[in-house]
A and B are shown apart, each in its own frame.
Chain A
Amino acid sequence: MIQLSIREMAQLLRDKQLSIPELCSIYFDRARAFNQQTNALLKINCDIDPAELLQAEEALLDESKLLAGIPLVHKDLFCTQGMVTTCGSRMLENFVPPYDATVVSNLKDQGMITVAKANMDEFAMGSSNEHSAFGSVQNPWDLTRVPGGSSGGSAAAVAARMVPVATATDTGGSIRQPTALCGVTGIKPSYGRVSRYGMVAFASSLDQGGVMARTADDCGIVLSAMCGHDHKDSTSHPDAAWQWNLPTLKNLKGIKVGVVIDWIDGLNDEGVKQSTIKAIDTLRQQGAEIIDVALPHAHLAVSAYYVIAPAECSSNLSRFDGVRYGHRSIDTADLETLYVNSRSEGFGEEVKRRIMVGTWALSSGYYDAYYLKAQKIRRLIAEDFNKVFEQVDVLAAPVSPEVAFKQEEKADGVSMYQADVFTIPASLAGLPCLSMPIQSVHGLPVGLQLIGRYFDERSILNVAHQFQQVTEWHKAMPEAYK
């Protein structure tokens, strides 16, 4: 059952070979059983919410609603009405939103069942999930290693088949990197495709909601249901609605796949390097034309990102002042003390560090030299992509320069930041990207990143789907969780 696709589960439910409670109980049981080892989930519901079950039973009558009765977890930065939404932070430890994020309500409308909220790096700041205020997440493939971040809980939950689907968000790689490190498939759509309403903001010009699942087809089905224009989000694209359908072609003939040779040549991990080369060769064998391309400014992306993202973070997180919601210090002699103590007690160390960097980058004397310059470099990087997409349909690239690393191995923040070198460029340009498992190195998964033109999620999902028709890596799962 736990290896079934969404289409297969939907068929079983419609054929009445399985009821929604029966399907969900399998995953509720797995979620409870495996969370003790992985800490992937923060709040597991006791049982199916009766209102969600009713909505799912009604949705099941609609043939077009493939997600009716399918269980999922939401990353804990999507607001869920009446259900604690912590964002991995002490600041929001007791925050119970009075409304659902648009992503959550869209998926409820399709009849999906919420099993739990997924652990994450605090306010989505981190690449290892070691920065959650509620404990780090362990990678199901090796519990001594990180699952990646910031959506590490979502990735670990899908990897251990605690759920078939998890929502996630990506600012600089937070869907793709944990997806790769945990051996599942995940898509970060184009900026503006998915509403950010009800998503706790980190860096507003970069944050984008997406999905993790077992296969590209599953991701496409869920993304179709999540996306769409939302008048509550002024950055939601007017043409955001989109529908994924299984491709009719069974190969990649006529598809041009670009490869940044410098990126692959520069990989120090021989296992990751050879896996990437082999996966690209598989695409070639399936009929894709492989073309060498260059992104001459991409090496500046990490530097520009670590100015822009902290700047937006320092602005966004200024709303947490202990007055309207979130942690409020009991030591509040005056208003200033209320602000300072509430923020200092509520935020963790990594969040404070990024707020400080952002405050510095936006402060007098540094704005032009850093913030403005970073935004100009962002333009150069976006133009590099535009030129490349005049030649190719899709870019294939590494996701992470290494497999899952040991917990506490990267104590130095900068070395952790550098691990996002392949994911950040497309984030700055707002492009759709996907990560899929392509190999296992010493028992640990390796992912391949596919980057598409703005609003062309279909091409990257198609390439991933075709790859998954001739490979088995997306079916692999950790032995202990079978």
Chain B
Amino acid sequence: MSINRKEIEELADLAKLKLSKTQASEVGVAMNDIKQMIDLMNEADVTGIEPMFHPMDAVQRLRSDQVTDQSHQRALLSLSAHADNEHYLVPKVIE
């Protein structure tokens, strides 16, 4: 079953992307080609196989609960196109 135009639009919405009609059409063709390629996985019997989410099969390590770094507020805020001295600025969300 191929990925249809409606699904492409829903996915673009989820991914917060705006696609023109031409782009949506091109992405649709590309995604169906990719789907055909990844459907090769169907031939594999994976019954009883544990998924391998990470090559190290590691568990997340925890560090001690201590302050180890200084505040970089000013340096980080300066990277934003719209910020004042203390905040990132975005269009009004609540009236």
Q: Tell me the complex Cα distance, A322–B43, Å.
A: 42
Residue interface bits A296-319, CB-to-B below 8 A is 1, else 0: 010110111011000000100010
Q: How large is the interface on A (under 10, 10 to 19, 20 to 34, 35 or more residues)?
A: 35 or more
Q: Looking at the complex, which one of A235, A307, A335 makes contact with B38 (CB distance below 8 Å)?
A: A307
- B17 engages A98 (CB within 8 Å): no
Other A-B pairs beyond A340-B17, A377-B41, 9, CB < 8 Å: A314-B15, A325-B80, A334-B93, A352-B17, A352-B27, A375-B52, A376-B50, A377-B44, A413-B34
* 8 A Cβ contacts from B1-41 to A: 3, 7-8, 11-12, 14-19, 23, 26-27, 30-31, 33-34, 36-41
Q: Looking at the complex, which one of B3, B80, B90 makes contact with A335 (CB distance below 8 Å)?
A: B90
- B11 engages A98 (CB within 8 Å): no
Q: How large is the interface on B (under 10, 10 to 19, 20 to 34, 35 or more residues)?
A: 35 or more
Q: Looking at the complex, which one of A304, A321, A328, A380 makes contact with B16 (CB distance below 8 Å)?
A: A321
- A428 engages B55 (CB within 8 Å): yes
- B91 engages A377 (CB within 8 Å): no
Closest to B20 in A: A344
Q: Tell me the complex Cα distance, A404–B8, Å.
A: 34
Q: Looking at the complex, which one of B46, B56, B92 makes contact with A377 (CB distance below 8 Å)?
A: B46
Q: Tell me the complex Cα distance, A340–B16, Å.
A: 5
Closest to A359 in B: B15
Q: Tell me the complex Cα distance, A332–B72, Å.
A: 27
Residue interface bits B65-80, CB-to-A below 8 A is 1, else 0: 0000000100110111
Q: Tell me the complex Cα distance, A377–B92, Å.
A: 46
**A192 touches B (CB below 8 Å):** yes
Q: Tell me the complex Cα distance, A413–B44, Å.
A: 24
A191 → chain B closest CB, angstroms: 4
Please name all residues of chain B whose beta carbon is closer than 8 Å to the beta carbon of A335 when the two chains form the complex.
90-91, 93
Shortest Cβ-Cβ A-B pairs, 3 listed: A430-B55, A375-B51, A376-B46
